[in-house]
Amino acid sequence: MDLSKICQNAVQLTERTARFIHQEAGRVSAGQIEEKERNSLVSYVDKEAENQLVEGLAQLLPGSVFLTEEDTVENEEGELRWIIDPLDGTTNFLYQIPAYSISIALEREGEIVLGIVYEINRQECFYAWKGGGARLNGQNIRVSQRPTLEESLLATGFPYYDYDHTQSYLQLLGELMQKTRGLRRLGSAAVDLAYVACGRFDGFFEYSLKPWDVAGGAFIVKEAGGHVVDFNGGDDWLHGGEMLASNRLIAEAFLLEVGAAFKRL
């Protein structure tokens, strides 16, 4: 399997779908927005983008199956599986806040081997394939080399439906505010991870995540030399709903802070 060629073809498909999403920005009316569950919004743009990606990727790898956010195709298990979020940051898109993306990953026999995150407004395409390193618009990227939490800028996401652990989470944010150079919340986990991969952020953590939120971005972080774990320091970050990603220099201290906080939950 030529992962390099597959990735380049998938990038071209992603760019076409990104142009569709961009042209629809600001055109979605209130009556065209659905609430799948509390604060989880979707419109025809998400669904049409997913249709375009599924159709193109199925042609690219005949026989492959899909795990998608919007369920426009039956989610299946298979040797080759695409994991897709057609519009990560839908709320940002609908409110015209410019931080949203397409996220794609290819899983082969349970292992992610390719990842793409396309940040639509900046036209930045982050991508990687197994063993090939990570790139942004064709240029090699690496995670940052900041050596301490005190020098680090972190990203996170706020819970939008699971409020059971709000107080402990806010306590952790308060602690990290004092121990780092700051925290940011962009509203797209895929973008957060892409920014870790290229060194704009030094670390990212979030819980209540879905596989399509993080599969592509986390793989790019790893190919960029970064560290990706769950809150126990293990490998259950894709389906376990929680993730910590960072450069390797702050990984231990970062995990110590986040892991200790979530043990209180």
How do residues 81-103 score in pLDDT, each as one tens digit?
999 999 999 999 999 999 999 99
Instruction: Give the C-alpha separation, 116 to 223, whole Å.
Output: 12
Instruction: Just give the CATH number of 149-263.
Output: 3.40.190.80
pLDDT given for residue 39 in this prediction: 53
Residue 165 predicted with pLDDT over 70: yes
**What is the pLDDT, as a whole number, of residue 169?**
85
Banded pLDDT at 35 (limits 50, 70, 90): confident
152 to 99, 193, 241: CA distances (angstroms): 21, 15, 24
If pLDDT is split at 50, 70 and 90, which confidence band does 38 have? low
Q: Which segments of the chain belong to CATH 3.30.540.10? A: 3-141
Domain with CATH 3.40.190.80 in the chain: 149-263
Residue pair 221/238 in contact by the 8 Å Cβ criterion: no
Phi/psi of residue 214, nearest 5 degrees: -125, -15
**Going by C-beta distance under 8 Å and a sequence separation of 6 or more, which residues neighbour residue 262?**
165, 168, 172, 207, 231, 242
Average pLDDT over all residues of the chain: 93
The residue among 91, 73, 89 whose CA lies nearest residue 81 is: 73
State the pLDDT at residue 76: 81
What homologous superfamily is domain 3-141 in, according to CATH? Fructose-1,6-Bisphosphatase, subunit A, domain 1 (3.30.540.10)
Closest CA to 85 of 54, 129, 108: 54
Mean pLDDT of 221-240: 96
β-strands 183-184, 124-129: how paired?
unpaired
What SS3 string covers the chain?
CCHHHHHHHHHHHHHHHHHHHHHHCCCCCHHHEEEEECCEEEEHHHHHHHHHHHHHHHHHCCCCEEEECCCCCCECCCCEEEEEEEEECHHHHHCCCCCCEEEEEEEECCEEEEEEEEECCCCEEEEEECCCCEEECCEEECCCCCCCHHHCCEEECCCCCCCCCHHHHHHHHHHHHHHCCCEECCCCHHHHHHHHHCCCCCEEEEECCCHHHHHHHHHHHHHCCCEEECCCCCCCCCCCCEEEEECCCCHHHHHHHHHHHHHCC
Confidence class of residue 264 from pLDDT cuts 50, 70 and 90? low
Inform me whether the pLDDT recorded for 65 exceeds 60: yes
pTM: 0.95
What's the rounded Cα separation, in Å, for the pair 86 and 76?
A: 17
Q: Give residue 71's pLDDT band: very low, low, confident or very high (50, 70, 90).
A: confident
Give the residue from 204, 97, 96, 206 showing the smallest Cα distance to 159.
206
